[in-house]
């Protein structure tokens, strides 16, 4: 009985030992897996570029030979007097201020019209209509009829009486009576003149007193016949309009300016007029009025431009193109070819001494022809790259510097001492294969030619982002250790493609060597 009990106890202890051993193995395997995962994640996980990483690509240095290879051209930033241009579609209209009316000052019958159609040109003083203002004698002692214009008849009778009185006064040889008679005649003629009679018409009143009086109405201003208000044989009253004239030697152009531009249009601003119907025609005018209401459907506001119209070449109703010249003053400008638009920023490359080119974010206005007005980021006298800026920027973004393109151009942020150190890089196997483990070998030699053994060497593989394909930047890093001959260590390349390689050797906080190259991983 005790023997069986001992067997059960021994069996139980054995089971416990087995379970504990299995648990220990499991825990150890988990720890190994965690360590391996940490190492693997440190090598393969994409990492966003930090501000300090980007700082190394803020400026680059090129040799004169490298500048010549890319056809580098630069220009000085300077100030110029600029004018912006706002274009709008306009329509020609007759000026309201140039519309005039020729009316009759007396009642009568229109016996003849000298203007026969709308659009007929009329000069100042041209005859418009012949109006009969008296009828046939009714009785022997009543030579004039008062049917049409009694006021006119009274003025004529007064003038006839004044002339007869003048004749009697001069015959009496009384100087005072003659002077008074002369004054009365002059006053009567003035009254008839105010009725619209010319001196010849006034003299004809006395020459043929028995005939019906016919008065020719003349145009007080020149222009184009806009409308006819009467026809031949029609009776008119004093003040009735005969025709309307419009003077088209000056016209209005109503330009529809968009809401985004209307704030820059002011009265007095110069404008240029072009017409597709008259390609050689270029007229200039000034803004005289801006309408107080905008069109909510087209989101435009009419702007009135007064334009001289020699030869009446612009016709009311024509559609024209207008352009307003807006002075911007003495403005700092940079050529359009010097500015690179990244989508979020606009950058230029600023030229420094010793072949150093610094990337600079600038704030510019809307492009004017081939230039940008500079708002912030540059000053007069700065020198920027015009030809070759895009090539510098694109390669800088790909490699973090210029080494991948020009084989040795260095980042401007490297320390001066780094130029005297030499770095050798080797990868095994070569060529590298994506998804495989590799061994990296790096040798650093000081200016005296002795191997550097006490540096901290960090290796970084960078695959640039490809936004068009939705692929972010991939960045893998590892520390290399001194093995007695060189700095080396294992490195896992996660995938095939073009990788930029950065090797940096440091002593404490000082960078002593920076090496860049590129690899095509199969």
- Asked whether the beta carbons of 393 and 347 are under 8 A apart, the reply is yes
- Asked whether the beta carbons of 405 and 372 are under 8 A apart, the reply is no
Cis, bond preceding 227 (omega within 30 deg of 0): no
Give the three-state DSSP class for 279. Answer: coil
Kindly give the confidence (pLDDT) of every residue in the chain, 522 residues in length, as a single tens digit, with 9 standing for 90 and above: 444 445 554 555 554 444 444 444 434 344 333 333 333 333 333 333 333 333 334 567 777 887 887 888 999 999 988 888 899 999 999 999 889 999 988 788 898 999 989 989 999 989 999 888 765 444 445 544 445 666 677 777 788 888 878 877 777 777 787 788 788 888 888 887 777 777 777 777 776 655 667 788 889 888 999 999 999 988 888 889 999 999 999 999 999 999 989 998 999 999 999 988 888 888 999 999 999 999 999 999 999 999 999 888 899 999 999 999 888 888 898 998 889 888 788 889 998 888 888 888 999 888 887 888 898 989 888 999 988 887 777 656 654 544 434 444 444 444 334 457 888 888 888 888 888 899 999 988 888 888 888 888 998 888 877 666 677 878 888 999 988 888 999 998 888 888 888 888 888 878 888 888 888 888
- Asked whether the beta carbons of 250 and 306 are under 8 A apart, the reply is yes
- The helix or strand, by DSSP H or E, that contains position 320, with its residue range, turns out to be strand 319-335
Q: Span 100-246: which CATH code?
A: 2.40.50.100
Cα gap 275→169, rounded to integer Å: 70
CB within 8 A of 442, min separation 6: which ones? 423, 424, 425, 426, 457, 459, 480, 486, 487, 488, 503, 505, 515
What local confidence, expressed as pLDDT, does residue 13 receive? 53
- Asked whether the beta carbons of 122 and 222 are under 8 A apart, the reply is yes
- DSSP codes of every residue in 38-95: HHHHHHHS--PPPHHHHHTTSEEE--HHHHHHTT-EEEE-EEEEEEEEEEEEEEEE--
- Asked whether the beta carbons of 458 and 503 are under 8 A apart, the reply is yes
- The helix or strand, by DSSP H or E, that contains position 14, with its residue range, turns out to be helix 2-44
Cα gap 15→7, rounded to integer Å: 12
What local confidence, expressed as pLDDT, does residue 469 receive? 67
Fold identical between 42-52+413-522 and 100-246? no
Whose tokens are 């000069």? That residue is 123
What's the count of helices (H) and strands (E) in the chain, helices before strands? 9, 28
What local confidence, expressed as pLDDT, does residue 161 receive? 80
Indicate the domain borders of the chain. 42-52+413-522, 59-95+250-401, 100-246
In 10 A of CB 352, how many CB atoms? 13
CB within 8 A of 128, min separation 6: which ones? 102, 113, 114, 115, 122, 216, 217, 218, 219, 242, 243
Tell me the helix, strand and coil percentages in the chain, rounded to 5.
30, 40, 30
Structure tokens at 447: 């200016």
Structure tokens at 171: 């015959």
Q: Span 42-52+413-522: which CATH code?
A: 2.60.40.10
The sign of the CA dihedral 251, 255, 261, 263 is positive
Phi, psi of 355 (to 5 degrees): 75, 25
What local confidence, expressed as pLDDT, does residue 257 receive? 94
Phi and psi based region of residue 17 (left: phi greater than 0; alpha: psi -120 to 50; beta: remaining): alpha
The b-or-e profile of 99-124 (16+ CB within 10 A means b, else e) is ebebbbbbbbbbeebbbeeeeeebee
- Give the closest residue to 221 by CA, choosing from 205, 244, 200, 203: 244
- Asked whether the beta carbons of 454 and 444 are under 8 A apart, the reply is no
Q: Span 59-95+250-401: which CATH code?
A: 2.40.30.170
- Burial of residue 301 (number of CB atoms within 10 Å: 0-12, 13-18, 19+): buried
Structure tokens at 267: 């009265």
Name residue 451's beta-bridge partners.
445
36-42, Cβ contacts within 8 angstroms, sequence gap of 24 or more:
40/492, 42/477, 42/478
- Asked whether the beta carbons of 217 and 129 are under 8 A apart, the reply is yes
What local confidence, expressed as pLDDT, does residue 208 receive? 60
Q: Helix/strand/coil (H, E, C) string of 207-228?
A: HCCCCCCEEEEECCCCEEEEEE
Structure tokens at 448: 């005296």
What local confidence, expressed as pLDDT, does residue 305 receive? 95
């Amino acid at each position: 009985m005790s023997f069986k009990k001992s067997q059960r106890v021994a069996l139980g202890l054995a089971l416990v030992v087995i379970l504990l051993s299995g648990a220990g193995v499991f825990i150890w395997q988990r720890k190994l897996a965690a360590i391996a995962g940490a190492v693997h994640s440190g090598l393969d996980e994409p990492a966003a570029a930090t501000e300090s990483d980007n700082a190394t690509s803020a400026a680059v240095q090129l040799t004169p030979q490298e500048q010549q290879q890319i056809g580098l051209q630069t220009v000085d930033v300077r100030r110029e007097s600029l004018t912006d241009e706002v274009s709008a579609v306009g329509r020609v209209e007759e000026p309201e201020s140039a519309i005039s009316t020729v009316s009759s000052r007396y009642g009568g019958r229109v016996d003849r019209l000298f203007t026969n159609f709308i659009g007929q040109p009329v000069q100042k003083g041209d005859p418009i209509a012949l109006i009969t203002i008296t009828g046939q004698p009714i009785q022997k002692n009543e030579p004039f009829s008062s049917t049409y214009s009694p006021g006119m008849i009274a003025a004529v009778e007064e003038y006839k009486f004044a002339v007869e009185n003048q004749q009697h006064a001069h015959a009496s040889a009384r100087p005072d009576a003659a002077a008074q008679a002369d004054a009365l005649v002059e006053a009567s003629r003035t009254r008839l003149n105010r009725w619209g009679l010319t001196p010849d018409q006034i003299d004809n009143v006395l020459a043929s007193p028995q005939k019906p009086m016919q008065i020719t109405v003349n145009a007080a201003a020149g222009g184009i016949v806009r409308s006819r208000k009467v026809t031949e044989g029609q009776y008119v009253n004093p003040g009735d309009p005969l025709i309307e004239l419009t003077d088209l030697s000056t016209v209005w152009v109503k330009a529809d300016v968009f809401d985004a531009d209307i704030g820059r249009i002011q009265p007095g601003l110069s404008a240029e007029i072009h017409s597709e119907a008259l390609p050689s025609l270029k007229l200039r005018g000034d803004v005289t009025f801006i309408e107080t209401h905008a069109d909510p459907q087209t989101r435009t506001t009419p702007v009135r431009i007064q334009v001289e119209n020699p030869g009446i070449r612009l016709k009311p109703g024509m559609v024209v193109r207008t352009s307003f010249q807006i002075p911007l003053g003495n403005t700092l400008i940079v050529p359009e070819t010097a500015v690179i638009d990244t989508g979020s920023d606009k950058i230029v490359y600023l030229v420094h001494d010793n072949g150093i080119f610094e990337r600079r974010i600038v704030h510019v206005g809307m492009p004017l022809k081939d230039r940008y007005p500079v708002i912030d980021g540059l000053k007069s006298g700065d020198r920027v790259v015009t030809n070759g800026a895009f090539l510098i920027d694109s390669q800088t973004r790909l490699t973090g510097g210029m080494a991948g393109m020009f084989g040795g151009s260095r980042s401007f942020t490297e320390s001066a001492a780094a130029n005297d150190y030499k770095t050798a890089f080797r990868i095994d196997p070569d060529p590298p294969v994506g998804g495989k483990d590799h061994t990296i070998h790096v040798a650093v030699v000081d200016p005296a030619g002795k191997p550097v053994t006490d540096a901290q060497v960090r290796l970084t593989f960078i695959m640039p982002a490809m936004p068009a394909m939705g692929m972010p930047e991939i960045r893998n890093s590892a520390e290399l250790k001194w093995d007695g001959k060189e700095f080396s260590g294992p490195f896992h390349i996660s995938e095939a493609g073009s990788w930029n390689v950065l090797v940096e050797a440091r002593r404490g906080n000082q960078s002593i060597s920076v090496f860049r190259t590129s690899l095509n991983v199969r």
